[in-house]
Structure 1
Amino acid sequence: MSTSFLYGFHAVTVRLKTAPESILEIHLDASRRDARMRGFADRAREAGIKLVDSDDDRLSKMSGGPRHQGVVARVNPVKQRHSLDEVLEEVEAAKLDTALVLVLDGVTDPHNLGACLRVADGAGAQAVIAPTDHAVGLNATVAKVASGAAESVPYLMVTNLARALNEMKERGVRIIGASDDATQTLYDVDLTGPVALVLGAEGPGMRQLTRKTCDELVSIPMAGAVESLNVSVAAAVLLYEARRQRMKAKPA
């Protein structure tokens, strides 16, 4: 079983809460003795985790850069907790909300993926879906940027994205893609029912087959000089509009 590294307070703290058994050891900056570091170390000791004093050079080598905040954990991979079917079945069984899924077609930048996962968690999306090809997987950078959301939101990589979209359609989920040339905006469509919101990579956008599989296309109105938004910002606009509509539609 191959190990990997998580770094930063948020990412490692969430792993401590959700899967402490997967943490082999946590390396801490021996020069830091502030209240935040002391509190973190106390929580790790309570969980029975081995703590190792390290210097900045070693932490930077393990994390791949200087933005580790003095905390790097060596971890075993956590088994994927959900399949797409399981996610949708849980949503249907809970009856607390309708399905809200974010689909990323061709996002390869780990910073963008991490930000999208964080937004998805905040907006209450039940999963983020991406193709196994031409997409970034979960890594230490993704986990750091996601600030814990990489542990809380299932990130499902599927071999055939169009097939996964059609499977969601069979369950009554509307597939709504974001496209700059769409004739209607996201404010013109009803997002209160089960929906999957699809975003393509910056520049090329969605692949043609993905676009054809969508039930509807919507645009985000752009009133300034720039033509488009960063994919994580666009995800936030779409997901929070869906959340706003759902909150408004709920009976008092």
Structure 2
Amino acid sequence: MSVRIACSICERSKSFNYRVTCRFLSLSSYRCAKNPSFRRPRSPLSFRPKLDFEQSEDNPPDEFEFESRQSNDFIYGVYPCLLALKSKSRDVHRAFIRRDYYQTDPSRVQNPSKMLRGVRQILDILEEERVPVMLYNRAALSFMAQDKPHQGVVLEVSPRPVITIEEDNMEEVLQLLAKQRHVVILDGIRDPMNLGAILRTFCFLMGSDNSVILTRQTSVLSPACAKASSGAVEMLNFYKSLDTPALIDKLRSQNRVVVGTDEPGPNTTSLEEICHVMRKMSSEAANNSEQKSVVVFGFEGSGVSKDVLEKCDHILAITSSETELENPELSVNSLNVSAAFAIILYRLLQI
């Protein structure tokens, strides 16, 4: 009995010491930020950005290196940060790079990975744009990225701009959307990972420089969303709709079919039937042009809002495989919204 108690106390003390040690390492990393020598490599290579300008008299270091403006975001990951720098979709204030990645020259590495080459491109752009660069260890970057996979790169940037649709800019937005075959409205997608996956699929299938409409219930374009989208957040245009039913009426005037999504039910239509209807409308058009559409995707739990669903011409549902199971209660009866989005958009683009 005494042996068991001793073993239990030992295991608990190990766990406690581990947590304390990790916390101490994180805090120690931040305190090292105030030491200018910590940010300068001992043997700089020719390709690295020069860090001396951030310590000059004209641009002194901040009093608190890790303190950020409340309005700024910390985006992380090689490709989200790289696309943010290339597209110039945000204002980049500071860059935080993992120290050992900064000191590695990809030209001296046999078969360097895509991630390492991406870090090299980021460093080149940072030097060209003269963005202050700070070097920290993995624990500090993990804290800034909220323990998400940062791949050794974190950028402090301004929030991704989202234009609100109002009466003043309504016509301008409609003219921009008229060039887009399929207009996507995301109604209350609150999970940033799902939202990022949807935007990644949309950018992959539709191409960059297209527009996505978000409702006021939809999640903000957070750093987690930017990472899940693999940088697609930086390539698209975003509009926020305050009155989605009225906007749908405006889009319907562009000869669009409005399709909502919901769970299978008596009033829902299959994806194949929707494609057949759109194909028939395209063939009946005067110039045999491609049929345009508006597709609305709703919240993972409650789905599309009731007032928005009433404005849809068709309600689409993806049905599961009709196979007989020994225990139906153990079956999967629904799809993730990002998976359903990929299936529907890909199929509509084949018409």
Question: Which residue does 1:13 correspond to in 2?
Answer: 82
Alignment correspondent of 1:210: 308
Identity of matched residues, %: 27
Partner of 2:176: 90
| 2:271 equivalent in structure 1 | 186
Tell me: CA distance 1:209–1:5, structure 2 relative to 1, closer, same or farther (3 Å): same
| TM-score in terms of structure 2 length | 0.63
Further displaced range: 18-27 or 142-151: 18-27
Deviates more, 1:47-56 or 1:142-151: 47-56
| 1:198 aligned residue | 296
Alignment of 1:61-76 (within 5 A): 61-76=143-158
Once residues 87 and 343 of structure 2 are traced to their aligned partners in structure 1, the CA distance between those partners, rounded to angstroms, is 28
In the alignment, what sits opposite 2:334?
Answer: 228
TM-score norm. by structure 1 comes to 0.85
Q: Give the number of the structure whose alpha-carbon radius of gyration is greater.
A: 2
* Aligned residue number for residue 52 of structure 1: 134
Alpha-carbon distance in structure 2 between the residues aligned to 1:82 and 1:99: 21
Equivalents in 2 of 1:13, 1:107: separation in Å? Answer: 26
Does residue 171 (structure 1) correspond to residue 244 (structure 2)? The answer is no
CA deviation vs aligned residue, 1:50-101 (integer Å, no higher than 9, x gap): 2211122221222222311111001123544685754542354x5xxx5212
Q: Is contact 2:271–2:318 with CA below 8 Å preserved after alignment?
A: yes
- Size of the aligned set, in residue pairs, is 240
8 Å Cα contact 1:175-1:195 kept in structure 2: yes
User: Displacement of 1:203 after TM fit?
Assistant: 2.6
Moved more, 179-188 or 149-158: 179-188
CA contact (8 A) 2:91 2:157 kept: yes
Seen in structure 2, the aligned counterparts of structure 1 residues 15 and 237 have a Cα distance that, compared at 3 Å, is same
Q: Does 1:157 align with 2:240?
A: yes
Cα distance per residue 1:24-69 (max 9 Å; x no partner): 1110010223631334322332333222111222212222223111
After superposition, the Cα gap between the structure-2 partners of 1:158 and 1:69, relative to the gap in structure 1 and judged at 3 Å, is same
Where do 5+ consecutive residues of structure 1 fail to align?
246-252
**Alpha-carbon distance change, 135 to 218 in structure 1, aligned in 2, over 3 angstroms:** same
Aligned to 2:48: none
Superposition CA RMSD, Å = 2.3
2:73 alignment partner in structure 1 = 4
> CA distance change for structure 1 residues 27 and 9 in 2, over 3 Å: closer, same or farther?
same
- Identify which of structures 1 and 2 has the higher relative contact order when contacts are C-alpha pairs closer than 8 Å and 6+ apart: 1
- Farther off after superposition, 134-143 or 165-174: 165-174
Contact in 2 for aligned 1:123/1:240 (Cα 8 Å): yes
How far apart are the structure 2 equivalents of 1:220 and 1:49?
A: 48
Could you tell which deviates more after superposition, 108-117 or 54-63?
54-63
For 1:192-222, what per-residue CA distance to the aligned partner results, in whole angstroms no more than 9, with x for missing partners?
A: 4221111111232112111101111122231
**Structure 1's 81 and 199: CA in aligned 2 closer, same or farther, altered over 3 A?**
closer
Q: Is residue 244 from structure 1 mapped to residue 350 from structure 2 by the alignment?
A: yes
Separation of aligned partners in 2, 1:174 and 1:124: 18
Contact 2:256–2:292 at 8 Å: present in 1 too?
yes
Residue-by-residue CA offset, 1:155-204 (whole Å, 9 max, x unaligned): 32222222222221123222101122244211212274221111111232
